[in-house]
Amino acid sequence: MLLPKKVKHRKWQKGRSRKRTVETRGTTLSYGSFGLRSEGIAWITSRQIEAARRALTNFIKREGKIWIRIFPDKPITSRPPETTLGGGKGSPDHFVCPVRRGRILFEMDGVTPTMAKAALRLAGHKLPVKTKMISKL
């Protein structure tokens, strides 16, 4: 799983995701010929990224090259079960990557377009956001 080695602040504030915002960074294919683009807004956990990566590599049988374009660096805290209010903020539980519309999540190269489409469709089902396959070709 993807985890940051070091974070500046152990606990972050939640922040807000506006519904109509679009991504400004990471919106074009940089490395591969095929990509998986986000069509919605969500927090993607490191477990979900790993599940999508495994689905991609398992389907293409290690033929092509895969790039992961997102990294979970936002800590999410949670309180232990059955605790009362007033104990302060919980300890960091897992890490997420906030994703908005238009962000490229995965890229791949070195495979046929039909194989890339099928692999990226499988990976998209592992993620909590609607996705779309895009290509340079």
Q: Residue 21 — very low, low, confident or very high, per pLDDT cuts 50/70/90? A: confident
69: in domain: yes
Q: Residue 60 — very low, low, confident or very high, per pLDDT cuts 50/70/90? A: very high
pLDDT tens digit string along 25-57? 999 999 999 999 999 999 999 999 999 999 999
The whole-number pLDDT of residue 20 equals 80
23: in domain: no
| CA distance linking residue 25 with residue 1, whole number of Å | 23
24: in domain: no
Neighbour tally for 114: CB within 10 Å: 8
Structural domain harbouring 122 = 34-135
The whole-number pLDDT of residue 33 equals 97
52: in domain: yes
For the chain, what is the domain count? Answer: 1
CATH number at residue 86: 3.90.1170.10
67: in domain: yes
- Which of 24, 49, 55 lies closest to 129 in space, CA to CA? 49
pLDDT tens digit string along 86-107? 999 999 999 999 999 999 999 9
The whole-number pLDDT of residue 73 equals 95
60: in domain: yes
12: in domain: no
pTM of the predicted model as reported, rounded to 2 decimal places: 0.93
82: in domain: yes
